[in-house]
Amino acid sequence: MNGLDVVGVPAGGWSELGETARTLIGAAEVLIGGRRHLDLVPPEAGTAERRTWPSPLRAGLPRLLDECGERRTVVLASGDPLVSGIATTLIELLGPDTVRVHPAVSSVALACSRMSWDSATARVVTVVGRELDLVRRELAPGQRLIVLSSDSSTPAALAELLDGAGYGPSTLTVLSDLGAPTEGRTQTTATAAEGLSDVSPLNLVAVECAAAPGTSLLGFGPGLPDDAYDHDGQLTKRDLRASALSRLAPGPGELLWDLGAGAGSIAIEWARSDPRCRAIAVDRTPDRATRISANAARLGVPGIQVITADVVESIDWLPQPAAVFVGGGADLDLLRRCWHLLPAGGRLVAHAVTVETEQVLLEAWRAFGGELVRIAVERLEPLGSFAGWKPSRAVVQWAAVRATTDGPPS
């Protein structure tokens, strides 16, 4: 395929398309789109063969595109095809040099105009083909959200999620069929959730977040409260977690291995740092793996990959990470193997709570450098009629950055 054009179609259809878009569609030999988009193009617009999307979409796309061959192919999409649209998938499959995108006004821009919101003040969350739990990461008092709905069931499900998360007073404005003669607007609160059962499948939801009194506010930084996690005692505690994440230094799009993940707190807070961050949590205990998945969904990062496997065996087939966290029970062979698998600039952090594992981290520090610190935390607790400091078990933390992959590390 020499290339294909992806044309964004406004809700008003053919009459609102510009001359360039009409010319592309008229010259096409193959038109691909959903039935709704294809029906918006009048028969006299051209003689192209019309093809609808395969199901399942991602699996069927390569065959469909192969059948188009070298014929001039135009894909029809809604609004801006790069806003939670098909153009992103096509670029992933074919590359940016093959796909030419011709956007119309996006649904996000239309929503901001209807709400009189500065677009810079709103966070966009798409749940099209994704889990609704993604919204949880963005919840904060005063936050503005534009949630791109999967279908007509999304607004009611979103209201239920918000109410259950302590954000029942939030205002929901459902904007449907934006830009079309049938455009609609329904406003309610998450607690009331009135009028959300009968909305167009083509909708999005503008949310003005407001928390109910007593709702725990998590924030976006590392070191969530320990009680934010369901755990069986295997949890990297709050202060140590914040220290580890500051050294793991998550960057957009980077992948973390959380080995021996326990409750998954390091992987979860890595993923919460940026929507593009990815994490794999490995634990050999099925119950813990189930718990990690539940914690991740509840804290707004359901995309974390959870693997039930032996840590040592799993690293042979996991994709290369940008950073690795080993929460406990590390041995020198495991740390060496993780180190050699890191790219230049990769980070490795490990914790030790026993003298034996401390010796392992000392050997790793001697071999690879970095920093070795001992962290002791004391908390004020009642002591009879007074108060006193109660120390927690001290933890040794080793953190290192691999400067280069040229030759063996020294």
CA–CA dist 157, 207 (Å, integer): 13
Let me know whether 235 and 367 are in one domain: yes
Let me know whether 149 and 53 are in one domain: no
Residue 96 has pLDDT above 60, yes or no: yes
Q: How many CB atoms lie within 10 A of CB 287?
A: 10
CA–CA dist 5, 68 (Å, integer): 13
pLDDT, average across residues 267-294: 96
Residue 214 inside a domain? The answer is no
Q: Which of 376, 377, 374, 378 is nearest to 398 (CA)?
A: 374
pLDDT at 21: 94
pLDDT at 408: 45
- % pLDDT > 70, the chain: 99
Residue 213 inside a domain? The answer is no
Let me know whether 60 and 100 are in one domain: yes
- Beta sheet of 184-189, edge-to-edge order: 122-126, 144-148, 203-208, 171-176, 184-189
Let me know whether 130 and 257 are in one domain: no
Q: What is the pLDDT of residues 164-187, one digit of tens each?
A: 999 999 999 999 999 988 999 999
Let me know whether 330 and 261 are in one domain: yes
Residue type, 159: A
Residue 329 has pLDDT above 90, yes or no: no
Residue 219 inside a domain? The answer is no
The structural domain count of the chain equals: 3
The domain that holds 283 is classified in CATH as 3.40.50.150
pLDDT at 65: 93
Q: How many CB atoms lie within 10 A of CB 2?
A: 9
The total number of residues shown for the chain amounts to 410
Q: What is the pLDDT of residues 213-242, one digit of tens each?
A: 999 999 888 999 999 999 998 999 999 999
Let me know whether 51 and 15 are in one domain: yes
Residue 49 inside a domain? The answer is yes
Domain final position from 208, 243, 277: 208
Residue 80 has pLDDT above 50, yes or no: yes
Domain final position from 48, 72, 105: 105
pLDDT at 405: 64
pLDDT, average across residues 337-366: 96
Let me know whether 262 and 193 are in one domain: no
Let me know whether 323 and 235 are in one domain: yes
Residue 406 inside a domain? The answer is no
pLDDT, average across residues 88-92: 94
Residue 243 inside a domain? The answer is yes
Q: How confident is the model at residue 406 (pLDDT cuts 50, 70, 90)?
A: low
Containing domain of residue 160, as a range? 108-208
Residue 410 inside a domain? The answer is no
pLDDT, average across residues 264-269: 98
Residue 410 has pLDDT above 60, yes or no: no
Question: Three-state SS for 82?
Answer: coil
Question: Three-state SS for 320?
Answer: coil
pLDDT at 219: 86
Let me know whether 246 and 393 are in one domain: yes
